[in-house]
Amino acid sequence: MRTTIKDIANYTGFSVTTISLVLNGKAYKIPKSTKDIIFDAVEKLNYRPNQIAVGLVKKRTKTIGLVISDVSNVFFSNLAKGVEDECRRNGWNLILCNTNDMHKRDLEYIQVLADKGVDGILFCMSLDSDKKKALESVKLMEKLKVPFVMIDRFLEEVECCSVIVNHRSGGYAATKHLLELGHRNIACVAGPLALEDSQHRLKGYKEALEEFGVSYDPDLIYEGNYDRKSGVEAVEYILGLQKKVTAIFSFNDMSAYGVYNGLKRCGYLIPKDMSLVGYDDIFFSEILDVPLTSVNQPVYDMGVEAVQQIISEIDSGVNSKKCITFQPKLIVRDSTTEYEEK
Amino acid sequence: MRTTIKDIANYTGFSVTTISLVLNGKAYKIPKSTKDIIFDAVEKLNYRPNQIAVGLVKKRTKTIGLVISDVSNVFFSNLAKGVEDECRRNGWNLILCNTNDMHKRDLEYIQVLADKGVDGILFCMSLDSDKKKALESVKLMEKLKVPFVMIDRFLEEVECCSVIVNHRSGGYAATKHLLELGHRNIACVAGPLALEDSQHRLKGYKEALEEFGVSYDPDLIYEGNYDRKSGVEAVEYILGLQKKVTAIFSFNDMSAYGVYNGLKRCGYLIPKDMSLVGYDDIFFSEILDVPLTSVNQPVYDMGVEAVQQIISEIDSGVNSKKCITFQPKLIVRDSTTEYEEK
DNA sequence: CTGTTAGCGCTTTCAC
DNA sequence: GTGAAAGCGCTAACAG
């Protein structure tokens, strides 16, 4: 059996109260001699408090849950890394929950995490969540009174702390870059347009077009699913348009890879025949033969920030309702070049 | 406040014992009428057992810990995905622990996980662990009496269940492939040779050489660190050897990417001037302009298997000491070709 | 300065 | 059929 506080009490002759007080740094009136005896016993018997028992009485577990769609997705694994690192630095632990973008699982995990007594949840809602579903998740967390911070994907109508990237500005930067290079027929491989992030990137795209006096053509927008397959399919769609598209802006790197491969397969050279911009700046993008111009998101830092927010919310008991916005940064590499009349 | 079992007792008029019995399916003698009343109340009051309290009395948390070096590493994130998926299927949860390959953190996390009452640990020891350190970690888990399964990296002298890949056979397959293509001067970009997996891949390499009557030249082995930088540095080393190397076997894909980029930078064409084989078969290897021939490891499945093993060990209370060995599989793509005399 | 006591929310033995 | 009571390991009023 594991050593318990009782064992220390028996061993030292003091009561469990005294032991607890000393171990929790609340022994204001207890002489050093007593403390020493206790600490010695703790060391000797190798005592460590049972955190389950502590959790039951303190109603704190120093554990948070991270609800994401899929850790094997590079974006999320970097996020998880940041989250875990910052947790460790603060003496917290992390329960990892993959929903595979199924709203139903969002709800299940929220409930389970609450049952396990996590002190807070870092929530990145499922791709298949429309506004109604997303609100359902939020309502559940509120009902269960578990503090939460929304990450990456957020909802304007929810009053909570969220850690996001300014996708509008990312979309704007990517598009502006292409426009400055002289491109005018710029296609987009968007993510699901039900998602705010996808919408915002599109908004940024439109803003840039407007600024350059280029009219918006909805035909040039292919609504994909943020995966590689979407990129491959988008190429087919875009080339089939016969619209003299000379540049493609993919709303994430995975779909950009699909576009990359799809274009190659069709005999297109990047960037000569087609410029390509991605979004996420996964480290692979740099390794590609034609290193990909991409919008970098400070994912790791977002994870760190989210943990700091949730911890401060837990400690203070107040919902900051802050919206921490990170700025994405366009990383120009070799997949984009000036438009040449042909 | 959350609804407790007492609330259900008060509401229904039955005692907490009865409620508990019914809810835990141990109500052999309790009439359906009573059960119905209780279930109705549970539903109405939205009662869910507090798992911390349950954990305290049952000494089971249905939670396991996963100790790995770094989730943001694709290999581990795929492992984590498998682990998490299988946990969910079985109603378990996962605490994620990144050690960044620091042995000290292995120990810290093992202790913390035990304090939190996890039922078992999936342990992938740190890269910086020599045998002595690794044994220290194992001894700690044994002392704390927490069941564990070793993943990927294992020790022959430890009596425990482990889930691994037959790295010898992977090394053999990769090398044989190159030998069959006619290559004779095959360099290796190894991982730390203190690690068994790296040693085993090397053993497979040697076996294949022997089979083809090619003598082993230790100069051709570059000991790297499984990262991209190692690959870049290895290229410099290998080209500097002046040994007419025509093929490189990288002991993982990350270092192979380094080799890939390094070779390009030096003006080498793959596979014309140099054949290249990786190990891990990260999805990205397929996307490269010259898709990488690589040894595929069924990482996801290993995660799944590890969870099944740990759960059965926890449930049965017996250490199976099984060593589950997965077979890697060579995936031939475009980065390897026949040796041509020049 | 230190100990007694109650209680966190639950399971389980035993008694009626 | 059901309930009282003890106990899991700990914290925290309160008492002295």
Q: How many CB atoms lie within 10 A of CB A227?
A: 16
A318: which residues sit within 8 A by CB, 6+ positions away?
none
B183: which residues sit within 8 A by CB, 6+ positions away?
B246, B247, B275, B339
Interface with B, mutate which of A54, A66, A70, A72 (most B CBs under 10 A)? A72
Chain B, 150 to 189: residues with Cβ < 8 Å from chain A are none
Three-point CA angle B26, B315, B88, nearest 5°: 90
Is the shortest CB-to-strand distance from B46 to strand C under 7 Å?
A: no
DSSP state of B222: E
Q: How far is CA B108 from the centre of its chain?
A: 19
Instruction: Identify the sign of the CA torsion A164, A169, A175, A180.
Output: negative
C1’ D6 / CA A110, Å? 34
| Protein-contacted bases of chain C (C-beta within 7 A) | 1-5, 7-13
Cα→Cα distances B313→A122, B51, B302, B307, Å: 32, 22, 16, 10
Share of chain B above pLDDT 70, in %: 100
B153: which residues sit within 8 A by CB, 6+ positions away?
B124, B125, B164, B195, B196, B197
Q: Where are any strands of DSSP class E within B37-160?
A: 63-68, 93-98, 120-123, 148-151
Give the amino acid at A263: L
- Check CB contact under 8 Å for B52 and A111: no
Cα→Cα distances A25→A16, A18, A21, A336, B338, Å: 14, 11, 6, 60, 70
Q: CA of A48, closest CA in chain B: separation in Å? A: 7
- Check CB contact under 8 Å for B81 and A71: yes
Which chain A residues are closer than 8 Å to B288 by Cβ? 287-289
Instruction: Identify the sign of the CA torsion A115, A116, A120, A124.
Output: negative
Contact B118, B64 (CB under 8 A): yes
Using a CB–CB cutoff of 8 Å, tell me whether A85 touches chain B.
yes
* Nucleotide minimizing C1' to CA distance for residue A21: D11
State the helix-helix crossing angle for A167-180 and A196-211, rounded to 10 degrees.
40
Mean pLDDT of B260-285: 95
pLDDT at B342 over 70: no
- Which is nearest to A239 in space by CA: A196, A300, A187, A178? A187
pLDDT in the model for residue A159? 84
Q: How many CB atoms lie within 10 A of CB B320?
A: 15
Q: What is the pLDDT of residues B50-63, one digit of tens each?
A: 999 999 999 999 99
H-only helix segments in chain A: 5-12, 16-23, 32-45, 51-58, 74-89, 103-115, 131-143, 167-180, 196-211, 228-240, 253-265, 284-287, 299-316
- Check CB contact under 8 Å for B284 and A289: no
B22: which residues sit within 8 A by CB, 6+ positions away?
B30, B34, B35, B38, B39
Could you report the average pLDDT of every consecutive run of 10 residues in chain A (342 residues)? 90 91 84 89 94 95 97 95 98 97 96 98 87 90 96 82 94 98 97 89 98 97 94 96 95 96 95 97 92 97 98 92 95 95 70
- Which is nearest to B272 in space by CA: B338, B183, B198? B338
C1’ C3 / CA A24, Å? 17
Chain A, 205 to 264: residues with Cβ < 8 Å from chain B are 228, 257, 260-261, 264
Q: What is the pLDDT of residues B114-168, one digit of tens each?
A: 999 999 999 999 887 778 888 999 999 999 999 999 998 777 778 889 999 999 9
Which chain A residues are closer than 8 Å to B53 by Cβ? 56
Element (H, E) at B55: helix B51-58
pLDDT at B308 over 90: yes
Q: What is the pLDDT of residues B180-218, one digit of tens each?
A: 999 999 999 999 998 888 999 999 999 999 999 999 999
Measured in residues, chain A has a length of 342
3-state class of A335 per DSSP?
Answer: coil
Give the amino acid at A223: E
Mean pLDDT of B32-59: 94
A4: which residues sit within 8 A by CB, 6+ positions away?
A47, A50
pLDDT in the model for residue A342? 64
Contact A299, A82 (CB under 8 A): yes
Is the shortest CB-to-strand distance from A13 to strand C under 7 Å?
A: yes
B58: which residues sit within 8 A by CB, 6+ positions away?
none
Confidence (pTM): 0.93
